[in-house]
Amino acid sequence: MGNPRKFHKQYSRPGHPWQLARIEEERALSKEFGLKNKREIWKSQTQVKSFANDMKRLLALRTEQANVETKQLISHLQRIGLVAAGATSDDVLALTARDLLARRLQTIIVKQGLAQTARQARQFIVHGHITIGGKMVCAPSYIVPIAQEPTISFVEKSVLVSAEHPARIKVERKPQAPPPEKRDSRSKRGQRKPRTFAPKKEAPKKEASKGAKS
């Protein structure tokens, strides 16, 4: 069990640190869901793998108790919105980290229109402006059950309750013009201009002195 006072990691890191396809996928997820760091992606992946491992273990047992626990696991996933009604074990095994990230409080707020972007939604939650069922929730990673979605709102004393607050008004940004093309000076670097020399002027000839010998 280990020392209960010692905190243990709730996620596992990737096996290889330099995989281009995985890095690009994680970068896209971080931008889409407004995540703070990649650790939040790894936590979601670990939790989804835990659901899949539990389902594989129950399928291998093939007992009455295993069937009961399988129904309980699927029912739990239905309550938090990861699988639909009538889901099977194949649906549980097909879950991905994206499915779990879509059920975070930070993402649900954007879907309900309470925030314009995922980054703004994270700021609202961390600063204590969001309540669920009348209770303040300050964790952006909170997995929202389907039954609690209608109870998400702003704190009564929050300035964000007003829809006319500048932070809630959606501003349409005009498309920016493409930047002017810059001249590439590196191609000309190291090239010297050809040196030009002015024609030499001929010195005037001296007139022979009258007393010079002929």
Amino acid 78: pLDDT: 96
Q: Which two tokens stand for residue 178?
A: 């493409």
Cα-Cα-Cα-Cα torsion 176, 181, 182, 188, nearest 10 degrees, comes to 170
Map residue 104 onto helix, strand or coil: strand
The mean pLDDT of 129-149, rounded to a whole number, is 95
Amino acid 194: pLDDT: 67
The mean pLDDT of 114-131, rounded to a whole number, is 94
Map residue 24 onto helix, strand or coil: helix
The mean pLDDT of 135-142, rounded to a whole number, is 95
* Whole-angstrom distance, CA of residue 110 vs CA of residue 163: 15
For 25, counting Cβ atoms within 10 Å of its Cβ (0-12 exposed, 13-18 middle, 19+ buried), the class is middle
Q: Looking at the predicted structure, is the pLDDT value of residue 145 above 80?
A: yes
Domain locations in the chain as residue ranges: 9-103, 104-170
Amino acid 173: pLDDT: 67
The CATH class that applies to domain 104-170 reads alpha beta
Residues facing 135 on adjacent strands: 132
The mean pLDDT of 2-8, rounded to a whole number, is 72
What letters, b where the CB count within 10 A reaches 16 and e where it falls short, cover 179-213? eeeeeeeeeeeeeeeeeeeeeeeeeeeeeeeeeee
pLDDT tens-digit series, residues 162-210: 888 888 887 776 777 777 776 655 555 556 666 676 676 676 666 655 5
Q: Looking at the predicted structure, is the pLDDT value of residue 15 above 50?
A: yes
Radius of gyration of the chain (CA): 35
The mean pLDDT of 99-121, rounded to a whole number, is 94
Amino acid 211: pLDDT: 53
The mean pLDDT of 9-25, rounded to a whole number, is 89
* Whole-angstrom distance, CA of residue 212 vs CA of residue 148: 123
Q: DSSP of 126-175, one letter per residue?
A: HTT-EEETTEE---TTPBPPGGGGGGEEE-TT-GGGSTTSTTTSPPPPPP
pLDDT tens-digit series, residues 58-100: 999 989 999 999 999 999 999 999 999 999 999 999 999 999 9
**Contact call for residues 111 and 42 (beta carbons, < 8 A):** no
